Chains A and B, each alone.
Chain A
Amino acid sequence: MARAWRRWWFPLVLVAVFPLTIVLPRSGLINPYVNLVLKYVGINIILTVSLNLVNGYMGEFSVGHAGFMAIGAYAAAILTVWVFPAGTGVWLFPLALIAGGLAAGVAGLGIAIPSFRTRGDYLAIVTLAFNMIVKSVLENVEAIGGPRGFMGMDKLTSLAWVYAWVILALYLARNFVFSNFGRGVLAIREDEIASGLVGVNTRQIKVQTFVLSAALAGIAGGLFAHELQFINPRSFTILKSTDMLLMVYLGGIGSLGGSILGATIYTVVLEGLRSVLQQIGISQEWRLVVAPLLLVLLMIYRPRGIMGLQEFRVLMPHEEQPGASGAPPAPAPQPSGGGSP
């Protein structure tokens, strides 16, 4: 009985919270601004998990994930505005998000195949270029509004939907990470050559991970588009990608718990900064300085972030939790002195 409880209490809590995400915004117990910030937190969690798969778990370096977000946002928005019959948006919204994820995933495949053909740090350069190309293309296609952007979406992104997609994204990412595929990804970060020499098909798993990551970013883009009800190419510049990098490295590389922390702290702090700057009468432009500066400081002083390579117990599958398999718990890590050569 106690064992079953240990295993199921966390999923039960997650289910129990779901009705609250429907009731609370409607009852007025949380005001619209808080509701909005919570939704941003959720969208940012999905984005952070997405980027963490590539930059944190796999140890590659993508700097252009806003490009995938843009593709997901535009694809989902075009579907709900132009393709789906009027009035069906509410019901078909998940389909639009999945389509956005698929579109971003296909773009991810197109980036990953050439980038991972050879070893080396091509990915950063390729994704940087990709991000700029996506923005330029969106600015130059008049049919979807060009530089003026695309609008007409209904406000379909409710707190309940965001919550559901965050849980789903975390669940899928967790299952991926705690499998032999995920272990292969971690092995690549640790030592790419050695991982090939224990049988990991490094090229294939890198492509698969990147596609999964791009698809998650696309889903987040779809949620973002139907929250703002207006998207334009300038929402998806390198600055947006920098935000994502920051949330990953703040919260912690290679950690789902870190992704949740990083996204939450960063979103709330930046919102807080908005009102602080307003009160002391300094231009809001300074918020744009905070993110890159914080990123530089983090990379120097705490490159692994708050939860780097650690995980909350509740976010691990039951059979992977320390002590759950019958194996004795790990002894406390000894301070590694000189270490081995």
Chain B
Amino acid sequence: MSLLAIRHLSHAFGGLRAVADFNLELQPGELVAIIGPNGAGKTTVFNLITGVYRPTEGQIVFQDRSLIGLQPHAIIGAGIARTFQTIRLFRELTVVDNVRIAWYGRTSYGLVDAVLRLPRFTREEGRIRRRSMDLLEIFGLAPLAETTSKNLPYGQQRRLEIARALATQPSLLLLDEPAAGMNPAEIGQLMELIQSIRREFHVTLLLIEHQMRVVMGIAERIKVLDFGQTIAEGTPVQIQHHPRVIEAYLGEEEVG
């Protein structure tokens, strides 16, 4: 059984077809990358999966359940988490609060428990704080728990965003250009981090990335998009020698 099955997914903004007939099957435990020039529709696919946009056409089935029409929070609750191309932390909140929020959908106390500070609230809050700190520990952010997140260096903001996504306890994690803006040393660390996340958290990973070093180094399977169309699909070696991929990337360089 596949974890995620996307069939004939299309999305149009007005007259512009951002994604056309996109198909993807993810098996549990896989690490798949989506690459393509800017504007190819990669992030739109993520936005369609997580319910930010509602697709014009097609199906998205996650663990045998259709995601079409669900609100983002319900999709996160079903076990999908994501990060963003440009960092979207809750900038004015502390590092630990950024992570604690991610337990929102799994919090077992209600509004009355919270407002009256009933024992159920105190127990659950303690649990959330401990587990958030454990997670920050893994990401090397525990000493910075009380820091306002906007004051973190860029690389740590990226790590915090991944930690926050993992706090929702996903079985599928979508990473949108995690290496964007990182220097070569940071990229090396990131690749190790992604591998260790895979081992420790048993998540399936779908990755958008421009850094060929990351994509070729860790992805098992690659899909290439251009102008919303899937132009190639295969292993890293197959993709590197695919004529249409070379064409798409060279074509973009000329324009750029």
The answer to whether A and B assemble together is: yes
**Chain A: residues with CB nearer than 8 A to chain B?**
172, 175-176, 179-184, 186-187, 190-191, 193-203, 208, 309, 317, 319, 322-323, 325, 327-331, 333-334, 336, 339-341
* Cα–Cα, bound, A182→B111 (Å): 10
0/1 per residue, B199-242, Cβ < 8 Å to A? 00000000000000000000000000000000000000000000
Do residues A199 and B88 form an inter-chain contact, with CB atoms below 8 A? no
Do residues B146 and A193 form an inter-chain contact, with CB atoms below 8 A? no
Residue in A closest to B164 when the chains form the complex, CB atoms:
A198
Q: Which of A194, A317, A329, A331 contacts B84 (CB 8 A)?
A: A194
* Cα–Cα, bound, A190→B89 (Å): 8
Q: Which of the 9-residue segments B29-37, B59-67, B147-155 touches chain A?
A: B147-155
* Cα–Cα, bound, A27→B137 (Å): 59
Do residues B117 and A175 form an inter-chain contact, with CB atoms below 8 A? yes
Do residues A180 and B147 form an inter-chain contact, with CB atoms below 8 A? no
Do residues B88 and A180 form an inter-chain contact, with CB atoms below 8 A? no
* Cα–Cα, bound, A181→B104 (Å): 7
Query: A-B pairs with CB below 8 Å: how many?
Result: 135
Do residues B86 and A183 form an inter-chain contact, with CB atoms below 8 A? no
B65-123 contacts to A, CB under 8 A, are 71-73, 76-77, 81-82, 84, 86-94, 96-97, 100-107, 109, 111, 114-117, 121
The yes or no answer to B133 lying at the interface (CB within 8 A) is: yes
Contacts A181-B114, A190-B90 hold; do A325 and B129 have CB atoms under 8 A apart?
yes
The yes or no answer to B181 lying at the interface (CB within 8 A) is: yes
Q: Which of B97, B144, B147, B150 contacts A183 (CB 8 A)?
A: B97
CB neighbours of A190 from chain B (8 A): 89-93
Do residues B72 and A197 form an inter-chain contact, with CB atoms below 8 A? yes
The yes or no answer to B50 lying at the interface (CB within 8 A) is: yes
CB neighbours of B146 from chain A (8 A): 322-323, 327-330
- Identify the interface centre among B86, B109, B115, B167: most chain A CB within 10 Å of its CB: B115
Do residues A199 and B94 form an inter-chain contact, with CB atoms below 8 A? no
* Cα–Cα, bound, A181→B77 (Å): 16
The yes or no answer to B9 lying at the interface (CB within 8 A) is: no
Contacts A322-B146, A328-B146 hold; do A333 and B103 have CB atoms under 8 A apart?
no
Do residues B76 and A186 form an inter-chain contact, with CB atoms below 8 A? no
Q: Which 8 pairs, one residue from A and one from B, show the smallest C-beta to C-beta distance?
A: A199-B105, A196-B72, A179-B114, A190-B90, A330-B146, A194-B88, A199-B76, A198-B102
* Cα–Cα, bound, A156→B168 (Å): 50
A-B contact pairs, 13 of them (CB 8 A): A175-B117, A180-B100, A181-B111, A186-B90, A186-B93, A191-B89, A196-B72, A198-B102, A198-B165, A199-B168, A201-B105, A203-B71, A340-B154
Do residues A200 and B115 form an inter-chain contact, with CB atoms below 8 A? no
The yes or no answer to B248 lying at the interface (CB within 8 A) is: no
CB neighbours of A175 from chain B (8 A): 114-117
CB neighbours of A340 from chain B (8 A): 87, 150, 154, 157, 181
* Cα–Cα, bound, A175→B151 (Å): 27
**Chain B: residues with CB nearer than 8 A to chain A?**
50-52, 71-73, 76-77, 81-82, 84, 86-94, 96-97, 100-107, 109, 111, 114-117, 121, 125, 128-129, 133, 142-148, 150-151, 154, 157, 164-165, 167-168, 181
CB neighbours of A194 from chain B (8 A): 84, 88-90
Do residues B168 and A198 form an inter-chain contact, with CB atoms below 8 A? yes
Do residues A187 and B50 form an inter-chain contact, with CB atoms below 8 A? no
CB neighbours of B115 from chain A (8 A): 172, 175-176, 179
* Cα–Cα, bound, A151→B118 (Å): 40
CB neighbours of A195 from chain B (8 A): 90, 101
* Cα–Cα, bound, A341→B180 (Å): 11
Q: A180-B104, A193-B52 are in contact. List 14 more A-B contacts (CB 8 A).
A: A175-B117, A180-B125, A183-B97, A184-B104, A186-B90, A186-B93, A194-B88, A194-B90, A196-B51, A196-B72, A197-B73, A200-B105, A330-B146, A340-B154
CB neighbours of A193 from chain B (8 A): 52, 72, 88
Do residues A319 and B93 form an inter-chain contact, with CB atoms below 8 A? no
* Cα–Cα, bound, A333→B91 (Å): 13
Q: Which of A196, A319, A328 contacts B71 (CB 8 A)?
A: A196
* Cα–Cα, bound, A253→B206 (Å): 39
Residue in B closest to A335 when the chains form the complex, CB atoms:
B151
CB neighbours of A208 from chain B (8 A): 111
Residue in B closest to A182 when the chains form the complex, CB atoms:
B114
* Cα–Cα, bound, A111→B51 (Å): 26
Contacts A175-B115, A328-B143, A333-B151 hold; do A183 and B88 have CB atoms under 8 A apart?
no
* Cα–Cα, bound, A339→B92 (Å): 13
Do residues B71 and A200 form an inter-chain contact, with CB atoms below 8 A? no
CB neighbours of B90 from chain A (8 A): 186-187, 190-191, 194-195
Residue in B closest to A204 when the chains form the complex, CB atoms:
B73
Residue in A closest to B52 when the chains form the complex, CB atoms:
A193
Do residues A333 and B88 form an inter-chain contact, with CB atoms below 8 A? no
* Cα–Cα, bound, A175→B115 (Å): 5
* Cα–Cα, bound, A97→B199 (Å): 57
Do residues A179 and B76 form an inter-chain contact, with CB atoms below 8 A? no
Residue in A closest to B72 when the chains form the complex, CB atoms:
A196
* Cα–Cα, bound, A329→B94 (Å): 11
Do residues A202 and B93 form an inter-chain contact, with CB atoms below 8 A? no
- Identify the interface centre among A322, A330, A336: most chain B CB within 10 Å of its CB: A330
